Amino acid sequence: MKLVFATHNANKFREIQNLMPDDIELLSLSDIGCDEDIEETGDTIDENAMIKAEYVRNHYGYDCFADDTGLEVQSLAGAPGVYSARYAGEEKNDEANIEKLLSQLEKRDDRTARFKTVIALNLKKNQNLFTGICEGVILKEKRGTKGFGYDPIFLPDGFDKSFAEMDLNEKTKISHRGIAFRELMEYLSQ
């Protein structure tokens, strides 16, 4: 089976490709000739995932899945949330996003946060959603050099390493994306 993962993010693609069973050929947007940036105009993480999956089905005709992820910080009323990738501006700069978040949390005691990923699967004219959540806290400073996005400042509950201090396999076992993806794989194996 061929399945498109609707992302231009090479880090996300590598994380998911690492988990894909051999009987599914995972294609990227580049593999299908989709160079455009699919606009995320939804008001929720769920809506953005659905928009991207629908775009690929409607414009390219492939079965596909798309994800959207947000970091939700409790003391910031769930921000950055759906705006996580462009929290500090439209250029989607990870370092600027981290700096903005750390500055907003500087005088706050509650650093409780969670990552939420929603995967929208469009397969044979049906759409299904799969959700993964990883609870944790925002660190006061960056730790680690692996991963991407907010990984250097996110400490998952029950661990003493940030996502950016974990290798890919360790992170994927507990991450929001890994949880949602395992739900997707369970569905595809039925």
Residue 68 annotated as catalytic = yes
> What pLDDT band is residue 12 in, cutting at 50, 70 and 90?
confident
Outline where DSSP puts E strands in 55-153: 64-73, 80-81, 112-123, 126-138
Preceding omega of 156 cis (within 30 degrees of 0) = no
Q: Average of pLDDT values for 66-86?
A: 95
Q: Which is it for the CA torsion 5, 96, 89, 42, positive or negative?
A: positive
Rounded percentage of the chain residues whose pLDDT exceeds 70: 100
Residue 37 main-chain phi, psi, to 5 deg: -90, 110
Contacts of 27 (CB under 8 A, 6+ apart): 2, 3, 4, 5, 62
Is-contact 83 90, C-beta < 8 A?
no
State mean pLDDT over 66-87.
Answer: 95
Q: Considering 23, 31, 63, 68, which one is annotated as catalytic? A: 68
pLDDT mean over 112-139? 96
| 165, 144 contact by CB (below 8 A) | yes
Q: How many residues does the chain have?
A: 190
CA neighbours closer than 13 Å in the CB half-sphere of residue 92 = 10
What is the H or E stretch that residue 27 is in? strand 25-27
Asked whether the predicted pLDDT for residue 110 surpasses 90, the reply is: yes
Place of tokens 């989607």: 92
CATH assignment, 2-188: 3.90.950.10
Predicted confidence (pLDDT) at residue 180 exceeds the cutoff of 80? yes
- Which pLDDT score is estimated for 70? 96
Q: Is this structure's pTM higher than 0.85? A: yes
Q: How far apart are CA 7 and CA 39, in angstroms?
A: 11
Element (H, E) at 3: strand 2-5
Mean pLDDT of 39-52: 94
**Mean model confidence pLDDT for the chain:** 93
